[in-house]
Chains A and B, each alone.
Chain A
Amino acid sequence: MANEVILLDFWPSMFGMRTRIALREKGVEFEYREEDLRNKSPLLLQMNPIHKKIPVLIHNGKPVNESIIQVQYIDEVWSHKNPILPSDPYQRAQARFWADFIDKKLYDAQRKVWATKGGEQEAGKKDFIEILKTLESELGDKPYFGGDDFGYVDIALIGFYTWFPAYEKFANFSIESEVPKLIAWVKKCLQRESVAKSLPDPEKVTEFVSELRKKFVPE
């Protein structure tokens, strides 16, 4: 039976980027469908009725929701090449822990950086930098989070990079000066075809965030 893979997504979503990268790592042919989040498609609402969010991965008609769950699913179904999670259970647990850390901490912190101002933004910026420093410390001297091979945690984190110029612009700071090793890791990831093809131009993301910020921080 032919594999039919559809991805319902929204181009600046750092979560959608994860799934795009995972599919490309595995060489899976997929149909990318851009969703208008102000006018969600009937298919999106049908396939993700609980959360009504992107990304939604539809494989042979069956939905898989939540980006981090999608990445694991992709790794398990297309297990023949480019493993995303390591094979050792303890290393897998480490990878899952750090992806969970990113989901629990980084998203909320980065949101404060671009969607607020004043004291709240300053506090958010401080948290955000601290979280990035924790991640940089975890990376250490390894080429990738998992070691020699690009994998799960790299995929979980890399999409946020496209939002970095937006954070820097609105909160007035330099991420590279705070976490230079992390930026070096970013550059290495960008050399990977699956990543380069899956990430939007950060300049376009900044334009998008700029418009979005107006809703939260009326000038």
Chain B
Amino acid sequence: MAEKDQVKLLGIWASPFSRRVEMALKHKGIPYEYVEEILENKSPLLLALNPIHKKVPVLVHNGKTILESHVILEYIDETWPHNPILPQDPYERSKARFFAKLVDEQIMNVGFFSMAKADEKGREVLAEQARELIMYLEKELVGKDYFGGKTVGFLDFVAGSLIPFCLERGWEGIGLEVITEEKFPEFKKWVKNLEKVEIVKDCVPPREKHVEHMNYMAERVRSS
């Protein structure tokens, strides 16, 4: 690695996808320059670096551009191997990747995109679907402090940035309790554990502002 690694991250304060990259960079103690993007007014730099998707996060490392949060997390783990994020065992790695996909695809779709377009009755149905999916995460947490075991890792960053620190803020905004203590004790315990981890805490968007933002994002989905 170069003596002077230049790392730049383009992100949005409310985006779970760029927040999780920040968690990983902080976990590895990698200094970086953060550039705040505005959703409704993306910078020429962002559009130049990510012409295909035009989204954050974008990581620039010594002039090389890396896109897509999962790809970035794996790149970070491989480039700076200390404090590993992904499990060492291939089977455990495959499970972490599988659940990360479940979180960002099915749970995200049900818990946000579909939820934004549903009426009250529809929301109850979707909440139940979300619970069924999150139950699989609940089972993964049995006997563990974090998905990564004794320390935080890839799936903690992915699921943490998306579920408690993003989707739940959206659900709060519409008065919906999806994840209850009664049905999800492991999940609730995991969130409490996460909140005590400094590098995670530092990367959680401020709650009130975020709840408001999630309402705005849902409105954007409805009007698109």
Binding site for B on A (CB under 8 A): 50, 59, 62, 64-66, 69-70, 72-73, 76-77, 89-90, 92-93, 96-97, 100-101, 134
- Name the residue in A64, A90, A93, A101 with the highest tally of chain B Cβ atoms < 10 Å from its Cβ: A93
- For A89, the chain B residues whose CB sits under 8 A away are 75, 78-79
Cβ-defined contact, A77 with B75, below 8 A = no
The 7 tightest CB contacts between A and B, nearest first, are A89-B78, A76-B90, A93-B75, A96-B71, A73-B94, A64-B94, A93-B66
Cβ-defined contact, B90 with A77, below 8 A = yes
Stretch of B97-105, B149-157, B180-188, B189-197 lying at the A interface: B97-105
Task: Determine how close the nearest CB of chain B comes to the CB of A99; give it in whole angstroms.
Answer: 9
Binding site for A on B (CB under 8 A): 52, 61, 64, 66-68, 70-72, 74-75, 78-79, 90-91, 93-94, 97-98, 101-102, 133, 136
Task: Determine how close the nearest CB of chain A comes to the CB of B50; give it in whole angstroms.
Answer: 10
- For A101, the chain B residues whose CB sits under 8 A away are 52
Cβ-defined contact, B68 with A100, below 8 A = yes
Question: Of B52, B93, B98, which is within 8 A of A66 by CB?
Answer: B98
* Chain A to chain B contacts (Cβ below 8 Å), 21 pairs: A62-B91, A64-B91, A66-B97, A69-B94, A69-B97, A70-B94, A72-B93, A73-B90, A73-B91, A73-B93, A73-B94, A76-B93, A89-B78, A90-B64, A92-B74, A93-B66, A96-B71, A97-B66, A100-B68, A100-B71, A101-B52
Task: Specify the chain A residue showing the minimal Cβ separation from B77.
Answer: A89
A-B pairs under 8 A by CB, number:
55
Task: Determine how close the nearest CB of chain B comes to the CB of A152; give it in whole angstroms.
Answer: 12
Task: Determine how close the nearest CB of chain A comes to the CB of B28; give it in whole angstroms.
Answer: 13
- For B97, the chain A residues whose CB sits under 8 A away are 66, 69, 72
Task: Determine how close the nearest CB of chain B comes to the CB of A61; give it in whole angstroms.
Answer: 11
- For A62, the chain B residues whose CB sits under 8 A away are 91
A163 and B3 CA atoms in complex are apart in Å by 49
A93 and B101 CA atoms in complex are apart in Å by 17
Cβ-defined contact, A97 with B71, below 8 A = yes
A64 and B68 CA atoms in complex are apart in Å by 23
Given A50-B102, A92-B75, A96-B74; 6 other pairs, CB 8 A cutoff = A50-B133, A64-B94, A72-B97, A89-B75, A89-B79, A93-B75
